[in-house]
Chain A
Amino acid sequence: MARKTTVARPAEPPLPAQEKIPITLIVNGTERRLELAPWTTLLDALRDHLDLTGSKKGCDHGQCGACTVLVDGRRVNACLTLAVMKDGRQITTIEGLAKGGTLHLLQQAFIDHDAFQCGYCTPGQICSATGLIAEGKAHSADEIRELMSGNICRCGAYPNILAAIQQAMGTRP
């Protein structure tokens, strides 16, 4: 079979730069007004435009979960979300979980159980676990593991992550 070594791509279309789009995000309870190009992901908006660098860019393709944040209370991958599509929505990031000087139950549980090594996946793990608890579908250890499978930890801290989530849920055996 004949195989080409390169594939001709169409030339970049002559696209006039669109005016940036004004949007409002309620980030961790505070109204933030932004003007963003439509291709800005929610993750880039948080990190590069709002200096909220707690949400991490791991794979940038929705495969690792490091970018997990809550939109209107539901956990999503911020790297696959276009910020302009979330105009007016409530965004919660890792920076918004602690109340004053008091850590969120999950943050404290992750410390108590040493549920990380390098820590890069941790903000995503904690936001994801916040969503998991709110969903109320995970009861057993198997269910927690399955419903946390969108958050990869390459250090392999999974047993301690599970223990931390069980502590926060009050189901730790």
Chain B
Amino acid sequence: MINFQYSRATDVADAVRQIAADPAAKFIAGGTNLVDLMKEDVERPTRLIDISRLPLTKVEETPDGGLRIGALVPNSDLAYHPLIEKRYPLLASAILAGASAQLRNMATTGGNLLQRTRCAYFYDIATPCNKREPRSGCPAIDGLNRGHAILGTSKACIATHPSDMCVALAALGATVHVAGPAGARTIAFADFHRLPESIPQRDTNLAPNELVTAVELPKRGFAKHYSYLKIRDRLSYAFALVSVAAALELEGNTIKEARLALGGVAHKPWRDTKAEAALVGTTADHAAFARAADALLRSAKAQTHNGFKIDLARRAIVRTLTQAAQATPQSQSIKKIA
């Protein structure tokens, strides 16, 4: 870890002012990912601006029936918040599928959105990496890529986004509130994270001087028919090989609305609105779910070692949609997949 200066932000405007004044500075809140990356010399900020004491810790109801989650609400507090448990259990479930209790106590809502890939080459500064050092090359493409992306990859990068929480936020259609030197703006969740294309060093469409201040959930929480299924190499405390967030609105056995997003498969949480639309009006059965999975995975591309993830994703999508339809969501403590 390189030496760095440390300062505290007194309010959001001060935080934005401080970061605008120092291009080599970074915000720190929970620190769970940033401190780790600094220890590995992957991140080398010369100043940390501590935003952890800013008053962005509320979960508030919005006038149109949604919820506004302050960027500094810890992941554990959010997962166990009564309104989240009751109205957005898909989000609660996804959060509890990620990390450990200690990390969830530290990690913040805004920071979860901004965590970086766990690609081993990105983490290892002895190897090239287009995300870490633009135009240095991607050793994952013909290297060890068992955990890498199968959707939306580019010749420059096949890294995945590591978050579970963000997969649920994508499925729920959240909105990200940010503040910057030019004022405040909102970014639709689907537009927040990016695909790698030729500039994989950019994970998101957040401008360098902007601060995430809140995440807003729309009114509809799909609390009746939902499931979050995470498949990984061990039963807990591991990143997803494939994860699926599914939510349905049913009338009898007919699908009125569907939400389907995947984690562990792409550079961003992968929501497929076309596959969702094709489910609407159909009977909620295995055949319809298999068609949706095939549609979502039609453009999937295997690397040398991760072809199994395409089959795994197909089965996980069908299983998760079935759990959602039957109102038997995947438990995050009893790991048997029903």
Instruction: Provide the residues of chain A in CB contact with B83, threshold 8 Å.
Output: none
Q: Hey, which bits of chain A sit against chain B, CB under 8 A?
A: 1-4, 6-10, 12-13, 15, 17-18, 21, 37-39, 41, 60-62, 65, 68, 74-77, 80-82, 84-85, 128, 131-132, 135, 137, 140, 142-143, 145-151
Q: How far is the CB of A37 from the nearest CB of chain B, in Å?
A: 7
B101 within 8 A of A: yes
Query: Judging by beta carbons under 8 Å apart, are B4 and A7 in contact?
Result: no
Q: How far is the CB of A94 from the nearest CB of chain B, in Å?
A: 15
Query: Judging by beta carbons under 8 Å apart, are A18 and B332 in contact?
Result: no
Query: Judging by beta carbons under 8 Å apart, are B142 and A142 in contact?
Result: no
Q: How far is the CB of A47 from the nearest CB of chain B, in Å?
A: 16
Instruction: Provide the residues of chain B in CB contact with A137, threshold 8 Å.
Output: 80
Which residues B15-53 have CB closer than 8 A to chain A? 24, 28, 31-32, 35-36, 38-39, 41, 44, 46, 48, 50, 52
What are the 7 tightest A-B residue pairs by CB atom distance, in nearest-first order? A150-B100, A38-B6, A149-B236, A146-B333, A149-B237, A143-B333, A142-B333
Query: Judging by beta carbons under 8 Å apart, are B39 and A61 in contact?
Result: yes
Q: Provide the B103-115 mask, 1 if CB < 8 A to any CB of A, else 0.
A: 1011000000000
Please name the residue on chain B nearest to A16 by beta carbon: B5
Instruction: Provide the residues of chain A in CB contact with B28, threshold 8 Å.
Output: 82, 85
Q: Which of B1, B80, B137 contacts A1 (CB 8 A)?
A: B137
Q: How far is the CB of B328 from the nearest CB of chain A, in Å?
A: 16
Instruction: Provide the residues of chain A in CB contact with B44, threshold 8 Å.
Output: 10, 13
Number of interface residues of B (CB under 8 A): 49
Instruction: Provide the residues of chain B in CB contact with A13, threshold 8 Å.
Output: 2, 24, 44, 46
B272 within 8 A of A: no
Instruction: Provide the residues of chain A in CB contact with B102, threshold 8 Å.
Output: 62, 65, 68, 75-77, 128, 131, 150
* Measured CA separation A151–B52 after assembly (Å): 25
Query: Judging by beta carbons under 8 Å apart, are B105 and A76 in contact?
Result: yes
Instruction: Provide the residues of chain B in CB contact with A74, threshold 8 Å.
Output: 76, 105
Query: Judging by beta carbons under 8 Å apart, are B31 and A85 in contact?
Result: yes
B128 within 8 A of A: yes
B99 within 8 A of A: yes
Instruction: Provide the residues of chain B in CB contact with A75, threshold 8 Å.
Output: 101-102, 105
